[in-house]
Amino acid sequence: MKKIELLAPAGDLERLKVAVIYGADAVYVGGQIFGLRSAAKNFSIEDLKEAVEFAHSRGVKVYVTANIIPHNEDLTDLPDYLVELGKVGIDALIISDPGTFSIVQEVLPDMEIHISTQANNTNYRTINFWYKQGAKRVVLARELSLNEIKEISEKIPEDLELEGFIHGAMCMSYSGRCLLSNYMANRDANRGECAQPCRWKYHIVEEKRPGEFMPVYEDETGTYIMNSKDLCMIQHIPEVIEAGINSLKIEGRMKTTYYVATTVRAYRMAIDEYLKDPKNWRSNPQWLEELNKASHRDFTTGFYFQRPDEKEHIYSDQSYVRTYDFIGLVKEYDEKEKVALIEQRNRFFKGDHIEVVGPREEIYERVIEEMWDIDGNQIDVAPHPQQLVKIKIDYPLKPFDLLRKIREE
């Protein structure tokens, strides 16, 4: 069996470090141009240098997205940008466009290239074509079933890797080649500017009755006819791996530090259990419970087992399910004083019942009994974003541990 890789998203340096610490084997990020998440913070060249150094020191790979569908003007700065990426020491580039592919081969002939899902990789002939051009890996289209993937894996070279999504948001145009954003908001989804109009609320207006909004679906609040559920394959790790996918990818470069940590942690445990004893693997309900504690939409298995039907969309609203609040990130812990320095992420109070989550399997519950501001003054609440707060806690915490509490209605 090929080496199994857990591949995590990172929208910035903090999220990359969290992904690495919580168990990712590789991380994919966007540079400041040529990626499909222009709204993410993304990485400057200096950030990438630090990211690569941090990841490589822990045996983790870093892949950079360059997977927009470029127009002529987009190509102008690409060669110089690639030279800078080559100096940083990244492990691979994720490409969707043949022109971009050829420029990468000219400028960085030794760079490993992965073919993005944007290239609509739905059959073994396409995948073999990319292999012959020099691609090391192909990211499978999301509209493939496990049976189709198994057939593909049987008809490609052994040294060609297959990457597939196992968790995260699903695009209405599953491989991502969508023009709806261009039409509705004049923002090119294929150049990193998607406005996500598939998540908007729609009504019908009849030509001779302007201003009279009729629901597309029988619901007085309107409908979200293109709003897909989120993918979740935590209960089907054996089927995914045994179909031939060896890089298991989590979607979410726009997602929070808490989402990255929680999701990577859950899938790390599930994959490790499979690798220990594939024949006797059983899904642990706690893994799914953890995924439910991160912000998410209702879950689906997408196309993996059967073609999705009307049950795979959410027609009532576009909101996420949020049952827990991420309230703080641990910066330091003083073992002698048993005091943790916390960077606040959501408001919390003295007396709150909290959970402490780290890359380990155990989750610890505590009540905040004492807390101080950075100047040592006792306080009852931490209301300010990214406020530094000290709390008394008897369990030894580590940097990048997370604190969370049940969300208040």
Q: Please give the chain's pLDDT, 409 residues, in tens.
A: 689 999 999 999 999 999 999 999 999 999 877 765 555 457 999 999 999 999 999 999 999 999 888 889 889 989 999 999 999 999 999 999 999 999 999 999 999 999 999 898 999 999 999 999 999 999 999 889 999 999 999 999 999 999 999 998 776 555 656 666 665 677 766 556 777 776 667 667 777 777 776 655 545 444 555 667 789 999 999 999 999 999 999 998 889 999 999 999 999 999 999 999 999 999 999 999 999 998 777 888 888 997 765 555 554 455 556 789 999 999 999 999 999 999 999 999 999 999 999 999 899 999 999 999 999 999 999 999 999 999 999 989 999 999 999 987 6
Read off the pTM.
0.85
Q: Which residue has the tokens 């709003």?
A: 227
- The rounded distance, in Å, linking the Cα atoms of 359 and 260 is 12
- The rounded distance, in Å, linking the Cα atoms of 362 and 148 is 38
- Return the H-helix or E-strand segment holding 344: strand 339-344
Which pair of tokens denotes residue 47? 């950030």
Domains in the chain, start-ordered, CATH in brackets?
5-174+227-312 (3.20.20.70), 324-406 (2.40.30.10)
Per DSSP bridges, beta strands 61-66 and 324-334 are: unpaired
* DSSP assigned state of 407: P
**Backbone dihedral region for residue 63 (phi beyond 0: left; psi -120 to 50: alpha; all else: beta):** beta
Burial class, 359, CB count within 10 angstroms (exposed 0-12 / middle 13-18 / buried 19+) = middle
